Amino acid sequence: MAKILVAGAGGFIGGHLVKNLLNEGHKLVCVDSKPIEYWFQIFDENQNFSLDLKESDNCLKVTDGVDYIYNMACNMGGMGFIENNKAECMLSVLINTNLLRACLVHKIQKYFFSSSACVYNASKQKTVFIPGLKEEDAYPADPEDGYGWEKLFSERMCRHFTEDFGLETRVARYHNVYGPLGTYDGGREKAPAALCRKIIEAKLSKKNSIDVWGDGEQTRSFMFIKDCIIGTKILFESNERSVLNIGSEEQVSINQMIDLIEQIADYKVDKNYQLDKPKGVRGRSSNNDLVKNKIGWDISVSLREGLEETYKWIYSQITSGVNNNKFSRKY
């Protein structure tokens, strides 16, 4: 089988991708800037490196002898993190740039870049329950400040390395990926995990309210991690060079998602709306017409089904006393 580098292997999506590729029998080089003991999933049979890929020499080191690269590495988190750390988010452009340059040196066969729905033009996301965003809606450019600009610029880098050097690149725009074995506290968690945790903590402590950022009417679509990995693999293995959405079209308000989690928890809470907290755009969802047409992919896990699995896992972590910021697992 192939020798594959996964950059960002210690993160949420990266860890699930590594497990999938390992199960297929590939030889893996896994890299993350975090110390290895802080990775979400660790597999001893892989080559595991704790290195900063913003440094060019490190990129050259880990790409030597590799056939394929999945770049899942970036400094990011939920809306609270990316709105307050714009410069740190933008520095991730160095990871993509240096990995692309290393691809030419070591003659990498194919390169994947994980982009984001944060690249989409903000003017198309000013109301709730907007029409799903099509790939063409990224231009004219007006992405999320900081993180969105880094992702959009890096998409262009991939395109031009294909055009100028013949490097096979694949780019997916992820829409709000969630699921077990991810961050659920500490400031980098996304809405599904954060709300599951808040309702679990309220239930366990018999509190009757939770804090909700914004007015709860802002809308999003959320994709379960299983669907993300399947879509990523199908796109990578295809001959399709177009940038494609990998996301869900099931758009809900934050209040509606809270309703779903309350049903799963069998526990009702009042909502303490915090209007001064980061809220992001008013509405965002994926249009999957192009990805269905190009590679035949669509989601298979409903939001309710995915939240049930996520809630169950977070509940097990909280009740077992695991510190989410300082845990590692071996599978």
Beta strands in 138-235 (DSSP E): 168-174, 177-178, 209-213, 219-221, 223-224
Below-70 pLDDT ranges, the chain:
322-331
Does residue 253 fall inside a structural domain? Answer: no
Q: What is the pLDDT of residue 312?
A: 98
Peptide bond into 35 cis (omega under 30): no
Catalytic-labelled residue, pool 147, 178, 184, 315: 147
The answer to whether residues 79 and 278 touch, using CB atoms and an 8 Å cutoff, is yes
Does residue 209 fall inside a structural domain? Answer: no
Does residue 144 fall inside a structural domain? Answer: yes
Neighbours of 92 (CB within 10 A): 21
User: pLDDT digits over 256-269, tens only?
Assistant: 999 999 999 999 99
Q: What is the pLDDT of residue 278?
A: 85
CA-based max dimension of the chain: 61
Rounded (10°) angle between helices 12-23 and 225-237: 60
Instruction: Decide if 311 is catalytic.
Output: no
CA 164 from centre of chain: 28
Q: What is the pLDDT of residue 179?
A: 98
110 forms beta bridges with 68, 168
Q: Measure Cα distances from 215 to 116, 136, 204, 278 in Å.
A: 24, 30, 25, 11
Residue 239 belongs to domain with CATH number? 3.40.50.720
Q: Measure Cα distances from 29 to 44, 156, 286 in Å.
A: 11, 26, 32
User: pLDDT digits over 35-82, tens only?
Assistant: 999 999 999 999 999 999 999 999 999 999 999 999 999 987 777 788
Does residue 204 fall inside a structural domain? Answer: no
Q: What is the DSSP string of 64-119?
A: TT-SEEEE------SHHHHHH-HHHHHTTHHHHHHHHHHHHHHT-SEEEEEEEGGG
Does residue 103 fall inside a structural domain? Answer: yes
Does residue 264 fall inside a structural domain? Answer: no
Q: What is the pLDDT of residue 122?
A: 96
User: pLDDT digits over 163-193, tens only?
Assistant: 999 999 999 999 999 999 999 998 889 999 9
Mean pLDDT for all residues in the chain: 95
DSSP type of residue 124? G
Place of tokens 């999933």: 41
Domain that holds residue 151: 3-176+225-247+286-300
163 contact partners, CB below 8 Å, separation of at least 6: none
Does residue 212 fall inside a structural domain? Answer: no
Number of structural domains in the chain: 1
133, HSE (Cβ side, Cα atoms, 13 Å): 35
Q: What is the pLDDT of residue 327?
A: 39
Does residue 265 fall inside a structural domain? Answer: no
Q: How far apart are CA 193 and CA 79, in angstroms?
A: 13
The answer to whether residues 181 and 317 touch, using CB atoms and an 8 Å cutoff, is no
Q: What is the DSSP string of 7-58?
A: ETTTSHHHHHHHHHHHHTT-EEEEEESS-GGG-SSB-TTSEEEE--TTSHHH
